[in-house]
Amino acid sequence: MRVLITGANGQLGSDIVDIFNSIHQVFAFGRDTLDITNIEEITRIAREIKPDVIIHAAAYTAVDQAESNLEDAFEVNAYGTRNVAIAAEDVGAKLVYISTDYVFDGTNDEPYSEHDVPSPLGVYGESKYAGEQYAASLCLSHFIVRTSWVYGKYGNNFVKTMIQLGKERKSIRVVNDQTGSPTYTVDLVHFLLELIESDKYGVYHATNVGQCTWYDLAKAIFEIQEMNDVTVEACSTEEFPRPAARPRNSVLGHSAIKRNGFTDLPPWREALECFLKI
């Protein structure tokens, strides 16, 4: 397949490029080579390449900064996604839009279903949900893939931050009242590989299986790394106020993966061990 990837230099996009390159014909674009907010540019490039699939991983991901930069967040996450969806429909390409757990407010007691109505807490989630709506309404052959707590070998993430802090300090305080599912980029990419081969369009939740708090995740990181001299102390969200509110429960249920017969992602602890032992 001919696969056009936006956000190709990002944490997830970089792994998509690496893994897809050995299987598909990849056309990778970062923000330095493709401005998704320019409808003429993305349309022209799509018509030149004629991709079978567009994986739209480009996003404004600065969650806290988005609270004071609403226009920038919506320009990229909403209107940029609108442009990509229009371009995908124009050339008859499948569209994969990477979305987020932040479209939910976190008040559910149970994991969120693909059919639960989004209710974002902040600008970042609102802009990503707007992007979902554009993707769904403007491109017939669309997949919306929500994920959460992503980490991998590229870019900055919680796992790398914890390891670095563990080298600098003997005691670290980590929030223990936010629950979610860590997601290893490599596992998510392998799911995307399987997904694009199908025509089972719609919304998917794709995270590593299981759930934990940030505190649980930090403890697991230091256990696997055998950094036994580091003490992790639990604290509350209120003790670490941030400009953007975080969902207390962002666990995503995987009913669409199961219903459509796709291979589910491995358990989060198993995935973390794979990443840390590379």
- Residues identified as active-site: 124
List, as one string, the DSSP characters of 97-113.
EEEEGGGS-S--SSPBP
Contact 162, 221 (CB under 8 A): yes
Residue 196 host element (H or E)? helix 185-196
Q: Which helix (H) or strand (E) holds 229?
A: none
Residue 237 near residue 179 (C-beta atoms within 8 A): no
Six-digit token pair at 270? Answer: 């198993």
**226 dihedral zone (left: phi>0; alpha: psi -120 to 50; beta):** left
Region at 149 (left for phi over 0; alpha for psi -120 to 50; beta for the rest): left
